[in-house]
């Protein structure tokens, strides 16, 4: 119980938080990345339920945002540009015609400062100089991981800047509740409270601006069903991105802490309840995970993990009617997302 640390390669450190039940999360100061999450299943076997790599070099070379803390702005910004206070800003283009996850100078490729630790919490911080990623202002972001004794992983983000800027931080963990090495997660049962999603433009994955009802479509998870049940349905939105890779609407604006999803894996009995105060969640079914080696010699491939990335909607800075992820100079913005694990 508590926090231990060990070397992670020659330049980084791996921190392990262990709670009273033996549940563990391992995170590294290489970008504040989640490397593993160990939880005991219904058969009393410890399962590592997030995809990851064994070495810093693999994280830096292979990418995929496995376990990544994403900032300043997660998801896509259309045409990699936006206007703020009447001034235009150009970002790097790294995803078709767009900017994805503020790349290529991503947080997960940098060494984060360990700002604070306690018995069950560790906080990482990254300073981003004015225009380093293309965004205005000198920015300080923090990401705190707290592991509670009732098996909840609480992720808290804060951001502050000396100029008006964008702040839309998230975590990009790929979950597989059957264990990271077990292959496809398509038999995972998913429920989401979301009755609308944001359809995207073919070839760009940028929202059209519509909030489309999920009722009667493959996107309806308001009644629980296996992720793979409708993933190959004859739906143009699924065909545009090879499966689920869409933002779902949790609430109109940032505000209340909402229970928005529950995922359950019958083979292990592991259940994950999800809570956030953010407006949306990007449900990504791992459609584009390439065949590659992960932790412990595991071979990963398409749909071997799923992401529930809490966020402001993609391209919200440019889309009329979407809540804006604007951080005003001198203010501190905060958001919290919690994943709670149980066994059935």
Q: Which residues are the active-site residues? A: 172, 309
Closest CA to 46 of 72, 71, 69, 18: 18
Angle at 144 between CA 141 and CA 148, to 5 degrees: 165
- In sequence order, which residues have a C-beta less than 8 Å from that of residue 257 and are 6 or more positions away? 275, 276, 277, 336
Please report, for residues 185, 204, 284, the alpha-carbon distance to residue 234 in angstroms, rounded to integers and kept in the order given: 21, 19, 18
Closest CA to 46 of 188, 145, 179: 179
Q: How many C-alpha atoms does 228 have within 13 Å on its Cβ side?
A: 11
The answer to whether the CB of 23 falls within 8 A of the CB of 341 is yes
Query: Residue 62: what are its φ and ψ, rounded to 5°?
Result: -85, -25
CA distance 135 to 166: 7
The answer to whether the CB of 98 falls within 8 A of the CB of 76 is yes
Burial 120-155 (b: 16+ CB within 10 A, else e): bbbbbbbebeeeebbbbbebbbbbbbbbbeebbbbb
CA distance 48 to 304: 13
Q: Is residue 239 classed as helix, strand or coil in its secondary structure? A: helix
């Amino acid at each position: 119980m508590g926090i231990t640390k060990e070397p992670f390669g020659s330049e980084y450190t791996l921190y392990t938080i262990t709670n009273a039940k033996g549940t563990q999360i391992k995170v590294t100061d290489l970008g504040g990345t989640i490397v593993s999450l160990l939880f005991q299943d219904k058969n009393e076997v410890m399962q590592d339920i997030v995809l990851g790599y064994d070495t810093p070099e693999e994280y830096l070379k292979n990418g995929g945002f496995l376990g990544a803390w994403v900032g300043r702005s997660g998801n896509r910004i259309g045409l990699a540009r936006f206007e703020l206070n009447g001034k235009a800003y150009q970002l790097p283009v790294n995803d078709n015609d767009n900017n994805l996850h503020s790349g290529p100078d991503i947080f997960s490729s940098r060494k984060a400062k360990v700002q604070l630790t306690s018995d069950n919490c560790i906080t990482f911080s990254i300073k981003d100089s004015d225009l380093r990623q293309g965004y205005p202002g000198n920015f300080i972001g923090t990401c705190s991981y707290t592991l509670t004794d009732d098996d909840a992983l609480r992720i808290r983000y804060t951001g502050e800047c000396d100029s008006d800027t964008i702040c839309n931080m998230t975590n990009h963990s790929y979950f597989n509740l059957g264990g990271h090495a077990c292959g496809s997660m398509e038999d995972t049962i998913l429920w989401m409270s979301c009755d609308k999603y944001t359809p995207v433009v073919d070839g760009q994955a940028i929202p059209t601006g519509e909030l489309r009802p999920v009722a009667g479509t493959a996107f309806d998870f308001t009644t629980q069903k296996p992720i793979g049940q409708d993933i190959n349905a004859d739906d143009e939105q699924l065909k545009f991105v090879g499966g689920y890779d869409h933002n779902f609407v949790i609430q109109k604006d940032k505000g209340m802490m909402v229970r928005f999803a529950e995922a359950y894996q019958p083979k292990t009995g592991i259940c994950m309840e999800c809570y956030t105060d953010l407006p949306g969640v990007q449900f990504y079914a791992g459609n584009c995970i390439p065949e590659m080696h992960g932790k412990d010699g595991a071979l990963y491939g398409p749909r071997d993990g799923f992401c529930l990335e809490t966020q402001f909607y993609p391209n919200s800075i440019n889309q009329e009617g979407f809540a804006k992820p604007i951080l005003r100079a001198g203010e501190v913005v905060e958001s919290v997302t919690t994943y709670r694990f149980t066994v059935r």
